[in-house]
Amino acid sequence: MQVLAIFIPIIAAILLPFLFKQVRAIHTGWFVLLVPLILLGYYLTFVKQTINGQSVVATMEWIPSLDISFTSYLDGLSILFSILITGIGSLVVLYSIFYLDQTKEQLHNFYIYLLMFMTAMLGVVQSDHVITLYLFWELTSISSFLLIGYWFNRDKSRFGALKSMMITVAGGLMMLGGFVLLSLMGGTFSIRELIVQAPSIVTHDYFVLALVLILLGAFTKSAQFPFYIWLPDAMEAPTPVSAYLHSATMVKAGIYLVARFTPIFALSEVWVWLVAGIGLLTLLWGSLFASKQTDLKGILAFSTVSQLGLIMSLLGVAAMAFHVEDAAGTIFKYAGFAAIFHLINHATFKGSLFMIAGIVDHETGTRDIRKLGGLMSLMPVSFTVALIGSFSMAGLPPFNGFLSKEMFLTGMLSVKEFDLFNFETFGVLFPILAWIASVFTFVYSFYFVFKTFTGKLQAEKLPKKPHEAPIGMLVSPVILASLVVVVFFIPNIVGDLFVKPAVAAIQPFLYDSPDEVDIAVQAWHGFKPEFWMTVGIVAAGLLLFALLPKWQKIYRVIPEWLSLNRLYDFIMNTVLDTAMERFSSLYMTESIRKYLTYMFAAIVSIVIGTLFFKDAFSLSFENVSPIALYDVTLLIVLVIGTLTTLFAKSRITAIIGLGAVGYTVALFFVIFNAPDLALTQLVIETISVALFLMAFYHLPKLGRVEERMRFQVGRALIAFGVGAMVTLLALSAHSQKLVESISGYYKETVYSLAGGGNIVNVILVDYRGFDTLFEITVLAIAGMGIYAMIKLRLSRKEKSNENK
């Protein structure tokens, strides 16, 4: 059941079209809602086990010969993500029921893609096998491509979908290379077994390369700098998609990957610097550019980039705990707790904010913040939810974001205590950059809520008359906003149930069970540096928000062409498109003769090169039949017939030469004691020659160009190369027989098992029955095609005669 649960959503997706055709009166979303709700209840039953530090493993064999299986591994980390995937998924589906109109949208497609994505995410977070993890990883890229491009008639939707897939799939391929290297180092595909071997493989020559490749996969999926550029363009997806993919699921896949592989790579200096450094840079970059945006979802997109960077930087700092013992390491363990806690908090407040952005767009007709304002009195419930979510994102009490933000500041301050890997020198930059990023986080949070709901109403700029959303659309964001407040007052219950088991899974060498994670969340820590940093953040944030129109102009200083998006466009549109077009024009000549030339040349080069460079060719004349005079005579006739066919100046001569070749081959079959093949060849050649002669009257005469066809050295070399390749393969196969011939098996079993007397007939009918059936099928299809073309030509002639 544990492995099957992963595939339940995609099974439901397969059945959904049939349900959609039968039941049209009820919104499809009500049936889809049952899937994540049932799975949420199922995964909650494992919480009791993960609290005690237990894990549950279930395996379903897939390709045993390659040691590939679907292994579901449920521990504190995977259960947390599974609950987020199904819990937020349930709220998103409920929200979509009221957001998407069944009469106007192709909802069966939408929910098929959504359920496909749900299976992909569950597979990613539960897979213990790196190959199946990669399979599900790429399925998230494909399904998110379909979701982002759901409104495929819009250019921006198609562009955003393609951009996200190109970047994440490229990162996924790099990640696969890292998985392969890691498996070679550890001799296993199991993540659990690789974690056990981590101390021994850290010194391997390929360790750092595998580390970097896996991080490329994580950074591209979780929109880390400089790969974040796909996330803002992905906002063209329907709001339910944005709320699901970009707050709780897809973008968290990279976070999960880093967390899961931390026990393996945390011993490396490169891992600590890359994860912590890139995370902090992403946090700062995203927060700086969020305040520049004028689209509500654009603000949330860059805020997501920023928040993902925050979590990533905490995971990097948490990796320092593997290098410090005793009490000093407690500070860095604290960062690991903060990363998981903020991951939960971010899913709640960011999910609600995305839904509010969708509500504003749905009820006003625009997401342009320059046209919005004054909606507080018209949309009081939406304003309240937006206020709670924004204040939590800004790190203000009494909301859960405040608690994890304080822990984040504590983690960044602890970096200067780390006296390895030059952090004692450069570590002082971490709290400084974290403080600056937090200030701008405060600014874009206020920018989102107050520019939308306060100020003067600009009704004349709105496509629709604004009003509050229907209650059904408000249920999901209200639930998420309620969790934002509730978690603030019961953080340690959430910590005991979900955070501590996940932290124990991330740091298995530091904790034997979740009970040993001795960390308690407190809203008040006293007058410590974190407190004064928070005071500074609020003061500076309020000042910058008040002066926003004045300093917002600095974004215009940076020219639009100087951006990573323009670099991506240049690479995709100019470099790749132009280069590929020029390259393809060299071989895409619309000449079948040239295509065959390229293919034969490639095959000859690969096969002959492999034979000689791999020392796979050996020549032995043992057990070779003697060559008689009549063999040589037939060979000469065969060559003369072939040359006659090629260089004949009349079609009748070419037909006769071709027939001579066929009949000569039939004589070879007779000499080599293959009467059945000889008979078949004679029948085929007789029919072919007869058909050619029957059609001869209707064939056009050879033109002057065909008569003057000249000898070309290049084509002659290709022809000679193909002949030499086949000859060398035959001689090599004869000279080194690695296994016994299957003919002995046929001789022994043709009568006893197949009950036949003619070995050839039995092979064709029994041993190769499907092969023969497929050959007959191909011939039948070809015959029907020829018949259809003949009839089509006749009908066209009849119509032309009627017109005349």
Alpha carbons 98 and 471: distance in angstroms, whole number: 9
In a domain, 349, yes or no: yes
What pLDDT sits at residue 441?
A: 96
pLDDT band at 83 (very low <50, low <70, confident <90, very high): very high
Alpha helices in 558-673 (DSSP H): 564-569, 577-587, 592-613, 629-647, 651-671
In a domain, 705, yes or no: no
Average pLDDT over residues 460-465: 90
Average pLDDT over residues 576-591: 77
In a domain, 486, yes or no: yes
Q: Is the peptide bond before 470 cis (omega within 30 degrees of 0)?
A: no
Alpha carbons 571 and 229: distance in angstroms, whole number: 14
- What pTM did the predictor assign? 0.80
Residue whose tokens read 């077994």: 193
Average pLDDT over residues 353-379: 93
Both tokens assigned to 344 = 């939960």
What pLDDT sits at residue 788?
A: 83
Domain final position from 541, 557, 573: 557
127-136, 333-342, 354-363, 698-707: which has the minimum mean pLDDT? Answer: 698-707
Amino acid 147 reads L
Alpha carbons 206 and 184: distance in angstroms, whole number: 9
Q: How many domains does the chain have?
A: 2
Q: Write the DSSP assignment of 490-516 as a string of letters.
A: SHHHHIIIIIHHHHHHH-TTT-SSGGG
Average pLDDT over residues 637-660: 85
What pLDDT sits at residue 327?
A: 47
Characterize 279-295 residue by residue with b for buried, 16 or more Cβ atoms within 10 angstroms of its Cβ, and e for exposed. bbbbbbbbbbbbbbbeb
Does position 307 have pLDDT exceeding 50, yes or no?
yes
Domain final position from 502, 531, 557: 557
In a domain, 370, yes or no: yes
Q: β-strands 56-63, 68-74: how paired?
A: antiparallel
Does position 490 have pLDDT exceeding 80, yes or no?
yes
In a domain, 276, yes or no: no
Alpha carbons 177 and 31: distance in angstroms, whole number: 40
Alpha carbons 367 and 452: distance in angstroms, whole number: 9
In a domain, 572, yes or no: no
CB 323 within 8 A of CB 420: yes
What's the angle, vertex CA 425, arms to CA 423 and CA 431, rounded to 5? 70
pLDDT band at 433 (very low <50, low <70, confident <90, very high): very high
What pLDDT sits at residue 795?
A: 60
> Domain containing 796: what range?
755-804
Alpha carbons 766 and 759: distance in angstroms, whole number: 10
Both tokens assigned to 474 = 């408000």
How many CB atoms are located within 10 Å of the residue 37 CB? 16
Question: pLDDT tens, 144-169?
Answer: 999 999 988 888 999 999 999 999 99
Does position 705 have pLDDT exceeding 60, yes or no?
no
Question: pLDDT tens, 500-550?
Answer: 999 999 888 788 888 888 888 988 878 888 899 999 999 999 999 999 988
Residue 474 Cα to chain centre, angstroms: 32
Residue whose tokens read 């205590």: 417
Domain final position from 557, 572, 600: 557
Residue 491: phi and psi, rounded to 5, are -65, -35
CB 382 within 8 A of CB 503: no
What pLDDT sits at residue 800?
A: 58
In a domain, 183, yes or no: no
In a domain, 364, yes or no: yes
pLDDT band at 799 (very low <50, low <70, confident <90, very high): low
CB 60 within 8 A of CB 70: yes
